[in-house]
Structure 1
Amino acid sequence: MIAASPAPAWIRRAVAASIVGYVMFAATIPSPLYALYGESWHYSSSVGSLLFAGYAFGACIALPLSAPLSDRIGRTPILLTGLGVSVAGAGLFVIGDSPAPVFVARLLQGIGGAVLISSGTAALIDADDAQHPRAATLSTVASAAGIALGAAVSAALAAAFAWPLAASGVLLVGVVVLLAIAVTVVRSSRAEPQVRGGAPHASSLRIAPAARRRFMVSALGVTAAWAAAGMTLALGPRLAGDLWGGPTPLAGAVLLALFAAASAFVQLARRGGDGTGELAIAGVALFMGAGALAAAALLGQGLLLVVAGIAMGCGWGAGNAGALRFLEPAIPLDRRAGMLSAFFLVAYLAISLPTIATGGLTDLVGVRSSCTVLAGATAVLAGAVAVAMRRMRPERDGVARDGAE
């Protein structure tokens, strides 16, 4: 964001956190509805998984392109661009009457969401208090709030409207308009950029040498956390409907609300530190959650699914915030959005690739067996995080917040 007289830091943090929360809100709303539309449009689980993963495809396209621009020309124009693309995706939800336009809508949502989450998180760090940094906590709590609200709104729309996906598109357009007004009015402390054109030190997805060790540890944590989130968002609603009975959107919304509430709780209960503690918690919680999910699917026990949703939420919240907090001190000021884009690129790959693979498996062996397989893969990743944190000594390398190269 660019301006001569920025708003107070707490207002800038609120707007940036709202943008991050909106990204997860917009990503969550369609998830419980896919099974409902699958019955109406008669598409397979593989197609449903592709609809879910379309968001991540768009994100992977946008992150390498938007990151340098955010650091070179400022946050505001990039955020407004991301909101504009999001409006286009939401508009396709309104008119979509088959899987093809919905896939394009999700693709556009992914492009807009990637631009918003990388630049929005960078703006959140821009406005952070250097003495008491809390950007990682705010980012994860805002994301959790977006997931919970998206799940609740999805269930409400499914109950109130014959075409809830179209209704969600109208709602998302309204939210984006409000955010665009806030971004335009509220400016951050980031000054008019001095880097122009193709300057050699312009931001990119290249990881600074001094930050590579921290990035690798953060990437491991965020991979496990977002793989668990992808499994919960993509397959959780169907499994919940199967085990708990009742409409799939409502059952899915309850599961996602449990996931989000646990994520927010673990962040509010544990703040501060360098992120290694949160990553250790994430490894244990995700391992337990994956085990509970596999047991719930194999035994058909709905109570175990409740345990799995809570444990997975704790693991995602701790893993996402811990990985971001661990990486943050090594992010150079002039490459902030670039390194965050690399961070979220890992996250989006982690959330999409297993989900796509499991979609085809669901067509062959059913949702319960698919959940069991994906839970096993998540348990392996979670175990790797737990072992890495146990063996690792907290870094005391003196890397400055804004001075790392």
Structure 2
Amino acid sequence: MNTYLVIIASILLLSYLLHLAAALLNLRALSPELPAEFVHVYHADAYSRSQHYTRATTVFSLTRATIVLVVTLTFIVAGGFNLIDGVARGFGLSVIPTGLIFLGLLALLQALLHLPFAVYATFGIEQRFGFNTTTVATFITDGLKAALLTVVLGGPLLAGILWLFETSGPHAWLYCWLAAVVFILVVQFLAPVLIMPLFNRFTPLAEGELKEAITGYAAGQRFALQGIYTMDGSRRSTRANAFFTGFGRFRRIVFFDTLMQQLTTAEIVAVLAHEMGHYRLRHIMSMMALSILQTGLMFFLLSFFLYNPGLFAAFGMEHISVHAGLVFFGFLYAPISTFLGIGMNAFSRHNEYQADRFAARTGADGEALISGLKKLSVSNLANLTPHPFHVFVHYSHPPILARIAALRKVCGGSREI
């Protein structure tokens, strides 16, 4: 049996088992006893409902992972990649268009595989637990817009990568990395003004008490606000959020309209202070820098496997090509990606604690941030007692009880960062 096929099958199975173990431990960690911190916030029936939601989403996630694993292994063993390659080559085009057709067909098959799960997640689980406000029309148009963006933005990038690997020799990985970095930076600048408005409506925050409180806090921190906006997140979900996006003059502070409805002025200012902490403490830049370094590592390792005959034989391919090599390397890179993802999550959780401390030590009301986090946890049916291993593998934010405990230590302490 082909060694690479054994390695790839093992990677897929071990990844599945990792997530299965985390999910099962997380289900076992569910406790019917309401944590004392939430006794006056969470009603017993709502808390029970949050646990039902955790169970439902976990079972759904495991079902989806199982089906995707079986379909993927079957597709590999049955020679599906070679079949798609044959279809792409059947158009008789040059190397790069053939590669784009191959990758496009695979993306289409993947989208079709995941579509039923997306439909059930949105109109089944999210609908049943009162989160979904997405209409069928919005769901369809969102999918079409996302597909169009993939073609318009991703198509040229993929074409450039294929061309560089075909023509640039041993340093192609470096040129591809530089091209990817430029692409990432351009998208970061364009997203707030061109991409995100395709999906949501952004409205400047109206004059009034909230805007005065926000500008007052920002002035106290000598932070120049480029724009404060509300976003119609309620078009798709009742969930609430806030975030910074963009850089320079394209920088925006965005509040979901659902957040505005659920939190008080003091709580919203505290959430803003937390988001400002990410910006002031350079978390956004450091996360982007790490992402760029990961991209460079990926391209560097890719250069060693791109034309490996054994790897292509594992997938039953008749022809060796750059476009297929990109896909096959992804299977080998999966363990590294998982390991780096766990590390990035740990770094992100560290950053969340720092941003909370920033908010509490720079004039925002720490207790207001705590009460805001509690309200959001209740409205989102958050799992209050996740298993530590599940947190380690999946969480980019600390569990809510850990955040509250850390904030309580800060509220009465020094105001220095």
TM-score category, normalised to shorter length: 0.3 to 0.5
Q: Which has the larger radius of gyration?
A: 2
Q: TM-score, normalised by structure 1?
A: 0.32
Structure with higher helix content: 1
